[in-house]
Chains A and B, each alone.
Chain A
Amino acid sequence: AQSVTQLGSHVSVSEGALVLLRCNYSSSVPPYLFWYVQYPNQGLQLLLKYTSAATLVKGINGFEAEFKKSETSFHLTKPSAHMSDAAEYFCAVTRNTGGFKTIFGAGTRLFVKA
């Protein structure tokens, strides 16, 4: 069965510091991987996606993620945090099993300190 694990339900960084949000997946077939961001009182917004092209994927707002098959990971990073990055982030895995099934991680809330 496929699953998605996000390590750390809460992450706190200082403004200007590196952001690292961790995501590990389990899948018996090559997955498609996504990161979404949810700002307060809003729906989820697609941040970036990996669909078997380049392993380093760039997304919006300066975020990027690297697909590492050997580690079954898809961690999200941003070199320098901004106050506006404070939000909840969800990792998601989509697998083609005769139809495309998507599973979301439990989410990581990012706090940015001034």
Chain B
Amino acid sequence: EAQVTQNPRYLITVTGKKLTVTCSQNMNHEYMSWYRQDPGLGLRQIYYSMNVEVTDKGDVPEGYKVSRKEKRNFPLILESPSPNQTSLYFCASGDQGPYGYTFGSGTRLTVV
């Protein structure tokens, strides 16, 4: 089944404790992206990747890191999480171009 898999689905952590949210896709997509979803703000792009070893900042990159060492994986790293990073996070992947994206099921992160 074609899908984007995120883990974990839910995570509660404390301020400053490094964490990684994993994202993997099995569709051989070149493009992958991370979004955060907050009430009333829709989805805001954090980082995206056009291909292996090619990443770039989205609209809200502060406090986040990413890497793209393999085509299928695009982990999101929070080196020192803060409470304002409490949010619902989505990974998405797609072919290059205006074809739309496939989204993961989301990771609900709470930073206390």
Contact = CB atoms under 8 A, between A and B. Distances in A.
Interface in A35-67: 36, 41-46, 49, 51
A104 B104 contact: no
Contacts of A100: 31, 96-98
Interface stretch (B39-47, B66-74, B77-85): B39-47
A24 interface: no
A90 B103 contact: no
B41 A106 contact: yes
Nearest to B6: A43
A43 B105 contact: yes
Nearest to B96: A100
23 contacts: A4-B42, A9-B40, A34-B100, A36-B100, A36-B103, A41-B106, A43-B4, A43-B103, A43-B106, A44-B90, A46-B101, A49-B99, A51-B98, A90-B42, A96-B98, A99-B50, A100-B31, A100-B97, A102-B101, A104-B43, A104-B44, A105-B42, A106-B42
Given A42-B105, A44-B103, A45-B103, A32 B42 contact: no
Interface string B28-64: 0001000100001111110000100000000000000
Nearest to B31: A100
B42 to A, nearest CB: 4
B40 A106 contact: yes
Interface string B80-94: 000000000010100
Given A41-B106, A45-B103, A102-B45, 6 more contacts: A42-B105, A44-B43, A46-B102, A51-B98, A90-B42, A107-B42
